[in-house]
Structure 1
Amino acid sequence: MLVTRKFSNILTPRTINSSVRSFQVCVMGGASEIGQAVSLMLRTEPAVSRLVIHDTWETAPGVVIELSHIPANSTLKGYVGEATMKRALDGSDLVLLVGGPLKTPGVSDKACLDANTEFVKTVSAEIGRLPKMPFVGVVAEPINSLVPMAAELMRNVGTFDGRKLFGVTTIDWIRAQTLFGTHHGMPPEDCFVPVICGHSDKTTVPLVSQARPGTNMTDTEIQKFVSQVRRYDEIVTLAKHGRSPSVSVAHGVHVFARAALAALGGRDAHVHAYIENNDLGTSYFSGLVQIDSNGVKEMTRYTDDISEYECQILEEALAQLRKDVAMGKKILEVD
């Protein structure tokens, strides 16, 4: 179904207002590099009345102590170890899975999947046992495979609502938006570039043809732009001498969380996310998603005026995405 939206209607950090209601947010993997940054941003988020930090790392109590030094109207609670996972999740409205090793250039998606599988499996099983499923945002990589795996686990355990499970892909949109604005000498917040399909260097598809405002970029410039968006993890990691992007990713998670909390508070909102969707022959797909208090309402589709180049890379990306989804589900079959 084709849904046409103006980019000015999208919730951004500038346009999202705090919800009147307050919510409990649980950061699973809160002692990780990204987890600490996300927790810092959420510590003073007005819509968060209770922030819960969970990790299996022994440094987790220190992270909670540090966060407690920041003046905030929300309560703060920390848990350590798998045995405390259920207590950490109980009562949560939004759960963010940010733990596990970060994806770095030179490390295959399969190796990253193997490293993060146990973390996502354990948390997903506990979420599935909750009496009511919260909104769940998966940040751990590779999202293309881990989100389908999490969904199957929750279905098998008990409680599952596909409208409430999201792979957080906001960073893809932020990067495309910023690069597009920089190229045109415009404030990035006044630009919008749809980014669809998956969340990896082979499956991320920026649609310059659908950008707002419109552009007169040459074919060469467009191809360079797409390559930059896809390679930004590598670019940042090289600049950080081997350390993966974390600050910008954490900001993207914060933008996602604010929109999710606005939706839980009764407002229609938008997130950039990877969700269950088979419109293009895959069971999962990423893009701009309208959400409300029940979760996903609909995903924006861009079917008109897509360039020949975009059709080509989308077809290639879809082929890879199907493999990624299958890889995530296959792990459960082996187990």
Structure 2
Amino acid sequence: MASTAITTLSGGLVSVQASLQSRSKTLGLNLSCSKSVSAIRGLKVASNVQIDSSFLGKASNSSLWASVVSKPEEKQVFSSQLQPQASFKVAVLGAAGGIGQPLGLLIKMSPLVSALHLYDIANVKGVAADLSHCNTPSQVLDFTGPSELANCLKGADVVVIPAGVPRKPGMTRDDLFNINAGIVKTLVEAVADNCPDAFIHIISNPVNSTIPIAAELLKQKGVYNPKKLFGVTTLDVVRANTFIAQKKELKLIDVDVPVIGGHAGITILPLLSKTRPMVTFSNEEVKELTVRIQNAGTEVVEAKAGAGSATLSMAYAAARFVESSLRALDGDRDVYECSFVQSELTELPFFASRVKLGQKGIEAFVSADLEGLSEYESKALEALKPELKASIEKGVAFVHKTAATAAST
């Protein structure tokens, strides 16, 4: 007989969040689990609390939100202390923005987070108060303005930076670059001063330039660790998985597509030939899907009729990357994600590819993804390199220019 969900546990409805190993590590609602919650890595739970298999999906993908249930004959309220075995402090810089708010909510749901620090230049107190009412274990604290930035960052294990502005009608790419580059500069310098050993996740666009900016700033501060600086390109993977599953009528939970290169326009290169499970595409399908993945951000902007950009899907993708990082920090030995990082896979100093994450950051690069590419992918890879190279150099030049200006004043 199916189990009946507990409506009261220690005085209220409780959801147990569990993080399991899987192939694609996708943050999602498809659950799978063994007989009891006590079997889930990362949680200590009374053995008489079980998970109802009717809520569960296939046993593959990673971050899970599982409901606590009990046997129907045990019509009683259990008092259980649910504690992650490991807990980490995560700081979100730009937490009151369109990405920051949903991202904060998703991170708040992680059982691996004990403290969630939210920073912005304004309006963050209300966001923190709102999130603090969610009955998950992490403590939420707000920090407003430059004077509170250092306290926000001290002791952080993971720092996520969605701060910045989206490109708006009439704004040139140079306008976007100049505004966001300055924001990233200020925040990364604060990270270097207050939590130099943290994993740094940069979402602020243009990622192809903001990651080189961050690297140069960390070098100037003497704390650069290329294994812990990540450009969050997970949204490209999320979109590739979604679009291909829809096109080929596959179960989304099974689909995994590596996306390499960069995080803008033609620098985004989904490797459809490496799709798992194996599936064949016509030449027309390859071109259609590649172009759609590359221009998916525009698809959202147009659908929102100029009223916004891809904030919810970006928050989802960023939360997936945060959860993967936390699992790696917690000792999971099977964590792989695509990210824009310092790399030697190509002649470019930075490149997005699949990497293996560990407690000290990047442990390995999955070079096999770049082997045996299709003719279309090989040509696209060569075509993206000049544009990506220019974006990287633009970021480096920005730091050197601002340093020279500061030295002359």
What TM-score do you get using the length of structure 1 for normalisation? Answer: 0.94
Structure with larger Rg: 2
Instruction: Spell out the pairing of 1:279-298 with structure 2 (5 A cutoff).
Output: 279-298=345-364
Amino acid at match of 2:350: Y
Map of 2:324 onto structure 1: 259
CA distance in 2, matches of 1:321, 1:143: 10
In structure 2, do the counterparts of structure 1 residues 106 and 11 end up closer, same or farther at CA, with 3 Å as the change threshold?
A: farther
Amino acid at match of 2:112: A
Map of 2:121 onto structure 1: 56
Deviation at 1:298, TM superposition (A): 1.5
Deviation at 1:197, TM superposition (A): 0.7
In structure 2, do the counterparts of structure 1 residues 131 and 94 end up closer, same or farther at CA, with 3 Å as the change threshold?
A: closer
Deviation at 1:270, TM superposition (A): 1.5
* Structure with more relative contact order (C-alpha pairs < 8 Å, separation 6 or more): 1
In structure 2, do the counterparts of structure 1 residues 47 and 130 end up closer, same or farther at CA, with 3 Å as the change threshold?
A: same
Counterpart secondary structure, 1:33: coil
Counterpart secondary structure, 1:245: coil
Note the aligned Cα RMSD (angstroms): 1.6
Match of 1:126 among 184, 190, 193: 190
Deviation at 1:29, TM superposition (A): 0.5
CA distance in 2, matches of 1:188, 1:322: 34
Amino acid at match of 1:282: L
What TM-score do you get using the length of structure 2 for normalisation? Answer: 0.77
CA distances 1:155-195 after superposition (whole Å, capped 9, x unpaired): 10132211000001110001001111111111122111111
Deviation at 1:261, TM superposition (A): 0.3
Count of residues paired in the alignment = 327
CA distances 1:251-299 after superposition (whole Å, capped 9, x unpaired): 0001001000001111121122110003211000102110100000112
In structure 2, do the counterparts of structure 1 residues 325 and 295 end up closer, same or farther at CA, with 3 Å as the change threshold?
A: same
Deviation at 1:10, TM superposition (A): 3.0
In structure 2, do the counterparts of structure 1 residues 162 and 258 end up closer, same or farther at CA, with 3 Å as the change threshold?
A: same
Map of 2:391 onto structure 1: 324
Map of 1:208 onto structure 2: 272
Deviation at 1:106, TM superposition (A): 6.8
Counterpart secondary structure, 1:73: coil
The share of aligned pairs that are identical, in percent, is 28
CA distance in 2, matches of 1:78, 1:237: 30
Deviation at 1:212, TM superposition (A): 1.5
Map of 2:62 onto structure 1: 15
CA distances 1:29-82 after superposition (whole Å, capped 9, x unpaired): 00111000100111221110000000112x111111111222221111100001
Counterpart secondary structure, 1:21: coil
Deviation at 1:107, TM superposition (A): 4.6
Counterpart secondary structure, 2:281: coil
CA distance in 2, matches of 1:194, 1:105: 31
Amino acid at match of 2:372: D
Instruction: Spell out the pairing of 1:127-206 with structure 2 (5 A cutoff).
Output: 127-130=191-194, 132-206=196-270
Deviation at 1:333, TM superposition (A): 1.7
Map of 1:3 onto structure 2: none
